[in-house]
Structure 1
Amino acid sequence: ATDFDTIQVPGHIELAGYGQIQYINTLYPWEGKIYRRPPYTLNQDQLTPGLFSDAADNTVGSYLKTFDLDDAFKGQRIIIQFQGVEEALYVWLNGHFIGYAEDSFTPSEFDLTPYIQDQGNVLAVRVYKRSTAAFIEDQDMFRFSGIFRDVNILAEPASHITDLDIRPVPNANLKSGELNITTKVTGEPATLALTVKDHDGRVLTSQTQTGSGSVTFDTMLFDQLHLWSPQTPYLYQLTIEVYDADHQLLEVIPYQFGFRTVELRDDKVIYVNNKRLVINGVNRHEWNAHTGRVISMADMRADIQTMLANNINADRTCHYPDQLPWYQLCDEAGIYLMAENNLESHGSWQKMGAIEPSYNVPGDNPHWLAAVIDRARSNYEWFKNHPSIIFWSLGNESYAGEDIAAMQAFYKEHDDSRLVHYEGVV
């Protein structure tokens, strides 16, 4: 690999001097140059061959990285996590194929354990600028490619919490409430020691459960409730310690959560904590004028300060999930979130201003259903515990159809504590 250049990761390939930056609104990037149609839309039984891989405009970034395994990671399950890659990636480790992923704005994780070495690991990643995902990632914005968010190596102990579902529910009087928590434990059975503290660090409740698989804690009752709101973004501190059979501490899970209610009443007015919702909101893209969609914690904190200074109390994550810390920052700052998943297919139904959905995706197409449900599921599972989120959003400007209705049904089935938004059915 002597002929490889060096590139900053995270970073956009185009801003490193390779490939061509584009700004496009409704059209697909290849419109007028290459004839392409979304698979299974012209013929329900036919997949179009060579759709992207044979085309001259599908630039590919091949990344190589060598690394040694940290001593503390040895003997544990090793996961690699790509926080954001535009637009599709293949992963190899030490010559072994690991996996493939689409969805530019959602973390993708791969298990490296079977092929990891203590020293001299060679990670190879091939990033395609175009894939079938391009038809549902047609957002009105600059088009880039590459590994544009952090890449992390994670070590998981013999017993590991893979999921945490926090359900804080205020009672009707908004002065008391209950907390239900369910976890998923992979690996060996473990003892989970849970503690909840108030904002000032006082212990309010604690309990211990043992098991593997789905482990549910007993319902916890709270009186003298502090509600989360933009005026008082009150967060409780949850901590779960995971112990093995010999009472060795394996991992610690900290999480902040808040109590609040969201309801749409018969008068068609939205109420949060029994008060009429007033939104002074923005649609926010992740953006830095020098680095594109590669943004830092400092960029995020600066955006929060700009919003607070201008009495902005709400943000729609247009039109994709943002970096993971953004949702925590909005919890802390008291900013309402409309959490949008990564979906826009504008070019498939609007042609030079005219409404023409002959090959619209996802539409009613059964071949596209799993792909968009997966995006809804990812958005929900990553962010379901954030009090700042009062709306889920199905995506943006993707016309209508049964597949989008199924995304709505997914959110309603999993979460009765929030409202669901979609724009737009034309």
Structure 2
Amino acid sequence: MNPAVPTRWRSVLPHLDAPLPPDRTQQAAGSDGAGRSVQVNLPLELVRQSTQPREYWDVPAEVLEAYRRYRPTPLWRARGFEKAVGARVPIWVKYEGGNISGSHKLNTALAQAYYYHRAGVRELVTGTGAGQWGTALAAACALFGMECTVFMVGTSLQRKPYRGVLMRMLGARVHASPSSLTEVARSGQDSGNSLSLAIGEAVEYAARTEGAAFCIGSGETYSILHQSVIGLEAADQLAAQGATAGAVVGCVGAGSNFGGIALPFHAAATAAGTTPPLLVAAESSSTPKLSRGVYAYDRTDATGTSPLEAMYTIGSAYTIPDSHSAGLRYHGAAKVISAMRHAGQVEAVAVDQVDALAAGKAFTAAEMTLPAPESGHALAAAARLAAGGDGVPPTRDGVLVCVSGHGYLDLGAYEQFLNGELSDQAPDPQTLLAAVGGLERVGELAVRR
């Protein structure tokens, strides 16, 4: 029998070595490019969830009712995948692709839509990369009777037009980014097809639209809190089978999927006074913020007006190479994940696009489940950990990996992989150095004083 859906979210904030570094307001900030002030107004409960070191937060009844339509999500031992990759320890898979959005993103979209609706907001506006977050928010807005506007990375929307169709089926308005609707796109502050630009467009659009609010799904501390349902369920499901995990793996765009699967294990171990499992963040080699970036104050979007957050980053101005893992094409990591990486509590591994899709292909054939390319990065990292070998840290017990979404709208990427048409574009070291050259490292100001 499956364990019950968690009725409380669990925060990792009480179990950090130190409080998160506070955000900073940029001296030149305050304009959306047209002379208007840009502020992101959060419902008070989301502010509390991001700042208070309180361990447990009740899931509102309306959100819990929605969760029960698709949760608990499945967890199984991937014996076929183990055999395919030569695993020496069990690989346990937690699968989040079985809801309308096709990914874990719905867990926080439902919570956020609930809180914004209670605050009187009529329309939520967002940016999305691969489209899972945009779809999730469109679904949540439909459930709570709200309007929804989505700016989706243009190259991703072109490759996956049915993501746009699904969002429109749910009542959302969908715009390819860069669009002609915002000053930030017209000004060329971010000339690439990036998630940072899509988010910047959404921030600007929401700021000038009455009754609207900007809403984001991945890197915020409250988003990671809502995603804790993944790890909480997984812990109960493993215990029900008498199993343990020596390593927990998730892919990282900004961090909500990885945080959702991994951080509840860290909180539980710390609370019990035991050693946490190895927490491994799998990122794209084309956007290697945790493995090759710097811990510095950087902006979260392309407007140039957002507060500076302490994050591992490759620079918000860095032009990220095109790839099929659009959900991972974000320049920075969430401040919670970044702080834990800085404290040595999180490990990071960069995975090539080709290796990720190869892992996805092997998983599809072995487990009869098609993962998203983003999830393929986590599967590739999990396979390395389970098989061991040169340069791979040893892991005790089994490996738990989150397959964050399905890949049915990503078959174009797999087709290119099968045809041998894909390559990887890892950042040039000098280009990376230039992109972060002007950023203030965390702790740098205190050292100068």
Give the structure, 1 or 2, with the largest relative contact order (CA under 8 Å, sep 6 or more). 2
**Bigger Rg, which one:** 1
Q: Which has the higher strand share?
A: 1
Q: Which has the higher helix share?
A: 2
Query: Structure 2-normalised TM-score?
Result: 0.27
Query: Structure 1-normalised TM-score?
Result: 0.28
